[in-house]
Chains A and B, each alone.
Chain A
C-alpha cells in the first residue's frame, strides 16, 4: 500500500518534470528561426475548421437552453428585462470560454494526441529526426501556436452564436426586437467583461495544444498507447482548463472588481 503510494507520487513528479521540460522546449523553439509558417497556417485552418460547427451548435443550444431555463425564475421576480444583460455577461465571462475550451479539448486536444501518437509509434517522428529536420519545431510548435491563436477566435464566435440563440428565445417568447435585445446586451457589457475573458482563452488554447502535443509526442506502447495518449490528453487538459479558469477569475477579481 505504502509502496504503491510512493510509486504513484514518484510517477507524478517525474511526469510533471517531463511536462515542464516539454513546455520549456516549446518556448526555446517557439521564438527562434526557422518558423514553419506554412504548417502553422495549415494547423490554424485544421483546428478552426475542425471545431467550428461543433462550437456553433453547442453555443446556439447553450444560448437557447440558458434563456429558457432562466426565464421562469426572472419572470417570478418581474426581472425578465434583465435577461439580455444576465445572459450576455454570463456567456462572455464564463460559460462561453469554458464550454468552448472543453469542446476543443475533446475535439482538438484528442486529435493532436492521436495524430502525433500514431506518428510516433509508426516511427514517422523518428524518421523526421534522422533526416535532420527538427520534428519538434514542425509538429509541436506549430500546433501549440495554432491552438493558442485559434481558441480565442472560436470562443468569440461561440459567444456570438450563444447570444443569438438567447435572442431567438426572447424574440419568440417575449416579443423582444433584435435592436432592443442587442442594445441591452451592449449596454450591459463592459471591456472589463470581455478583455480578461478573452485573455484567459489564449491560455486555454495553449493548454489544449501543449497537453495534446505532450501526450502524443511522448506516446509509447504501440496502438494501445495512441488510445491512451488521446484519452489522457482530454482528461488532463480538462483538469488544467478548470485550474487556469480558477486562477484567471481570481486574478480578474483582484484587478477589476476589488
Chain B
C-alpha cells in the first residue's frame, strides 16, 4: 500500500437514490495501489451499489468517480469497455454463464479485447494459467452446474483474473459459503493480490474475512463513510454504531 501515491480509485460525494430511498448520500473513498480496502455496512446500505457505480453498472445521481486516472463520466462506450478490463468484478452469486463450459466462461471475456491482448488464436494457455491460479485446472471442460458453490466462486475469480485487471472489486466473496470454503477463498484473494499485484475493494459482512484481509476499512452507514481505519483501530472503537459490527 502506498497512500503517498495518487489513488487508483477515487470517489467524491457519490449520491444515489432509488425513489425516496437515498442509498448513497455523499460517499467518499480512496483506494491506493496494492491496498485491500474492506467496506462494511448493513444490508441495503448501498455497498454493492457503490461498487457497481465504479464499473458503470449503476449510474450515479451525483459525485465524481475516478478510476485509474480516468473520470468515469467522460468515457465513451469503447473507453469504458477498455477500462473495464482493468477493473475486475467478482459477483456475489459468481454469475457464471450457465450455458457455457468453464473454458468458454474464461475465454468469453477475452474475445473483444484485441486492443489489450492482440488477436488470440489459442486462449488455452491463458485459461489454464487463470484456472491454475485458483487451483481448479481439472474443471476446464465442466459445466457450471457440475460445480459446488465454492468452486463456482473460484472459477468466477479465474474469469476475472484472465483479463489481468489492476483492481478487483469483490462483492461479498464469502457469502453463502461454509466457514472452511470461506477461509479458502480469503486465502486465495490474498495469494492473488500478491501474485498479480492487484488493489482490491472487498464488500463483506464477514468479520473474519475483514480481520484477515483488510489493510484499511470503511464503515458505510446512512449513505456516507461513517468511519475509516485499520481493523484493529475500528475494533477498539467505543462508538456504538461501530461496535455493533464487531460484536
Chain A residues near B (Cβ < 8 Å): 34, 119, 122-124, 126-134
Contacts and interface: CB of A to CB of B under 8 A. Distances in A.
B245 interface: no
B93 A123 contact: yes
Contacts, number: 53
A127 B95 contact: yes
A203 B39 CA distance: 50
Given A131-B109, A132-B112, A132-B113, A126 B95 contact: yes
B93 A126 contact: no
A131 B57 contact: no
Contact of A130 (B55, B82, B112): B55
A122 B109 contact: no
- Of A119, A122, A132, A134, the most chain B CB neighbours within 10 A belong to A132
Interface string B48-70: 00001001010000000000000
A123 B92 CA distance: 9
Nearest to A126: B57
A119 B144 CA distance: 13
Contacts of B87: 130
Interface residues of B, number: 25
B95 A131 contact: no
Nearest to A131: B109
Nearest to B82: A132
B85 A131 contact: yes
A128 B108 contact: yes
Nearest to A42: B99
Contact of B85 (A122, A132, A134): A132
Contact of B108 (A34, A119, A126, A131): A131
28 contacts: A34-B112, A122-B95, A122-B98, A123-B92, A124-B97, A124-B98, A126-B52, A127-B91, A127-B97, A128-B108, A129-B57, A130-B55, A130-B57, A130-B84, A130-B87, A131-B108, A131-B109, A131-B159, A131-B163, A132-B80, A132-B83, A132-B84, A132-B85, A132-B109, A133-B81, A133-B108, A133-B111, A134-B112
A132 B83 CA distance: 8
B216 to A, nearest CB: 24
Interface of B: 52, 55, 57, 80-85, 87, 89, 91-93, 95-98, 108-109, 111-113, 159, 163
Given A124-B95, A124-B97, A130 B113 contact: no
B89 A127 contact: yes
B91 A126 contact: yes
Contacts of A119: 97
B226 to A, nearest CB: 27
Contacts of A132: 80-85, 109, 112-113, 163
Contacts of A130: 55, 57, 84, 87, 89
B50 to A, nearest CB: 14
B71 to A, nearest CB: 18
A41 B159 CA distance: 25
A34 B52 CA distance: 26
A202 B84 CA distance: 37
A131 B56 CA distance: 11
Nearest to B156: A127
Given A34-B112, A133-B111, A122 B93 contact: yes
B81 A134 contact: yes
B111 to A, nearest CB: 6
- Of A124, A126, A127, A134, the most chain B CB neighbours within 10 A belong to A127
Contacts of B84: 129-132
A34 B95 CA distance: 24
